[in-house]
Amino acid sequence: QAETILVLVFIVISVLTTHTNLFTVEGEPLHRCAMSLPSGQALRHCPLLPAAALRNFSSTTLKARVRSQHSAAAARYSAAFSSNRQVSVINNTCRPLLKRATQALQSSRGLHRVPQPISAMVSSASQPAAPAGDLSLLGERADHSWMDQLNEDPEAAQHAPNRAMRQVRSGHYVPVKPMPLSKPRLVIHSPAVAADLGISEDEVKTDRFTAFFSGDIDRVDGMRSWATPYALSIMGDPQYHNCPFGNGNGYGDGRAISVGEVVVDGKRLEMQLKGGGQTPFCRRADGRAVLRSSIREFLASEAMYRLGVETTRALSLVVSGEDTVDRPWYSPVTEDDPRLKDIPVERRRAMLRQPRDPDMLVEEPCAITTRVAPSFLRVGHIDLFARRVANGGGDLAREELEKIFNHALFREYPHLWKDDSPLDKKAWAMLDEFGDRLTAVVCGWLRVGFCQGNFNSDNCLVGGRTMDYGPFGWMDDYNPFFAKWTGSGRHFAFMNQPGAALANFHTLAQSLAPILGDGEKGNEAAEEAVQLMAGKIQRAAMDVWRVKLGFPATPSGSVAAARVWEKLEPLMLNAKADYTVFFRQLAAAVELPAEATDEELLAPFAEAFYSPLESSARDELLALLRQWRVALVEEVGGTDNAMKGVAAELRRVNPKYVPREWMLVEAYEAAKAGDESLVHELFALFERPYDEQPEMEAKYFRRAPDSALMAGGTAFMS
């Protein structure tokens, strides 16, 4: 009974504190009031808000909060979200409230399913290859549903070739051809993605392959190309300042151009060139990507797939032998720079940490990554047309909203598209499934130590996949506020990603409100969906630590994991533990005999910390490791087979190799100098991120170099 109560308490507090600034007591987040009390202290002066609190999560509430996201309010929200601590004792007065809140949540209609366990998300990433051939098969298999089912910009013909910035007032796409790279050369490709598209390895070696995927789409008959408009919402708040016209009519695919949809073995795949040149949405930019960013995106997206997290894929990376552009970047100043020789080391490091913006222009070769996915339909696409309905766009706006919604079903939820149910029922069902997919993706990021860095609505796919590998990063030393992008703020930081996901879900739900019901009925349905999603994603996020610590998916396993994580999280932060190395080495600690000495128990973690452990931290870690091992034995049994099973599962969910930024920097700097061998080496490494790969261990299974924790462009980027 005690365990049951604790589980209920844990779940409900997680639900109520998912977005802490929404629930405040005298101006302070309820999360701080309820979750940061010392162990053993009862909750007092903290009126819990069960079902009523969830009902208060309205679009008005969220927008009021988000409008101050770049101010101290956002900082308080993020700090509260990431400083989560479990409550050790809940007084008897609070328990009935918690129980009623749980019952109210479970009795609500729909959207209450918990996604599959995180451990089930990690797949072998193996797929049967499609019949392979030359590029002419792409044209034969082409089926451009976006262009066939949706509306073309009615002003496209008069503005052809549509490569200049302008307003696009209606329509779902603008036909525009990419601008081919000069003297293109293939740097790398993914054989698995080529096979999915039905392209043979012999065809990959041809000039036609390189030319087509460098933007010369006339090389293949039957292919069409287009760019799309969409809207931007940041943490649920609609944005217009990013649009050069201030009204949302100039925002969309600024340098991404889709070059075809094909259906291979019954599976629809869209190909999109990132860096394909200017479009009406380029906002005065050149529409190009560079070799540096293209290498990062290619390796990261393919690694993410192998890590078992849903993602867009990368087919190819082509570089120009002639075209270059200037990009702001960081000068290579390090702490051993001779100009700093007379300055004490600690002061040098402090100086190097201060500049956060690029301080020079670098000439970089242009490149194009071809990314592939079932669709690139973003939350921002639906958001745009919902805004036009709300702004009095009339029948055409309503028609275009319903068309983009139906197309989303066709592309990503075909079973719902085929269903004969009314549109409102389909919209509710889509939100339900989208919530599951989005939760799985974000929890996958937490599991593998990834921070997307800019998780706006325009970087959130309706199909629930990772996309737009821009200011992303994999974490080195554990920090709940980790983010590579200097503009991420705390709202996009590592541990706040579930909150950012919920905000994107809110944007989609509100965008579908006109379909969910007329007037207030639609708004109420959208808000109910958001309330239920809040509980779903918070429960799943907490489950990540159960999985990473090796506990079974049982109520008692969840409680045991929460108790361990409550103590482990601050230890990892304060002692600067390497996120990947520490969690991977738990498997080695599990395999030790029960009578292991202190030295033997600490040995697997000898290289897991960026600073030597002080004696107090060493003692704390030892006690925690022993507590963790005892708890595991209680949950799974202490037999050799049981503990070997735990170790195997730990190695299956905690990767050994991830695309750390210093690895990517070494690869793209060498490639720019003419040596692309490291790009291929890392691609091979990330194809098996959970395998031991002993030949790569000394080189890549290690902490980041100290310089990588400070250098601009590696530790952070703009």
Asked if residue 285 has pLDDT above 70, the reply is yes
Classify 152 in phi/psi space as left (phi over 0), alpha (psi -120 to 50) or beta.
beta
Reported as a single tens digit per residue, the pLDDT across 535-559 is 999 999 999 999 999 999 999 999 9
Q: For the residues of 332-353, what is the DSSP string, one character each?
A: ---TT-GGGTTS-HHHHHHHHH
| DSSP, res 466 | B
Which one of 101-105, 248-252, 284-288, 320-324 scores highest in mean pLDDT?
320-324
- 8 A C-beta contact, residue 388 and residue 335: no
Outline where 460-554 has alpha helix (H).
497-511, 513-516, 520-548
CA 565-436-4 angle, 5° bins:
45
Residues 142-171, mean pLDDT to the nearest whole number: 96
Reported as a single tens digit per residue, the pLDDT across 59-116 is 333 333 433 443 333 343 333 333 333 322 223 333 333 333 333 333 333 343 434 4
Q: For the residues of 225-250, what is the DSSP string, one character each?
A: -EE-B--EEETTEEE-TTSTTSSSTT
Asked if residue 193 has pLDDT above 50, the reply is yes
CA 294-298-299 angle, 5° bins:
120
Report the relative pairing of strands 237-239 and 313-329 from DSSP bridges: unpaired
Instruction: Find all residues with CB under 8 Å of 257, minimum gap 6, and list them.
Output: 176, 177, 178, 215, 225, 226, 227, 272, 273, 276, 277, 279
Q: Is 578 noted as a catalytic residue in this protein?
A: no
Q: For the residues of 59-113, what is the DSSP string, one character each?
A: HHHHHHHHTTTTSHHHHHHHHHHHT----S---TTHHHHHHHHHHHHHHSSS--P
- 8 A C-beta contact, residue 259 and residue 376: no
Amino acid at 603: A
Catalytic member of 383, 458, 468, 477: 458
CA 208-214-220 angle, 5° bins:
40
Q: What is the mean pLDDT of the chain?
A: 83
| DSSP, res 603 | G
Residues 413-431, mean pLDDT to the nearest whole number: 96
Residue in 670, 671, 700, 676 with CA at minimum distance from that of residue 688: 700
Asked if residue 53 has pLDDT above 60, the reply is no
Query: Which one is predicted more confidently, 8 or 651?
Result: 651
Lowest model confidence (mean pLDDT) among 76-85, 180-189, 411-420: 76-85
Percent of the chain having pLDDT more than 70?
A: 76
- Place 706 in a pLDDT band, splitting at 50, 70 and 90: confident
Residue in 691, 680, 612 with CA at minimum distance from that of residue 655: 691
In the prediction, which pLDDT does 390 show? 94
Reported as a single tens digit per residue, the pLDDT across 633-684 is 999 998 999 999 999 999 999 999 999 999 999 999 999 999 999 999 999 9
In the prediction, which pLDDT does 488 show? 60
Lowest model confidence (mean pLDDT) among 37-46, 107-116, 368-377: 37-46
Distance CA 663, CA 296 (A): 10
Distance CA 483, CA 694 (A): 30
Lowest model confidence (mean pLDDT) among 66-80, 131-145, 370-384, 392-406: 66-80
In the prediction, which pLDDT does 716 show? 62
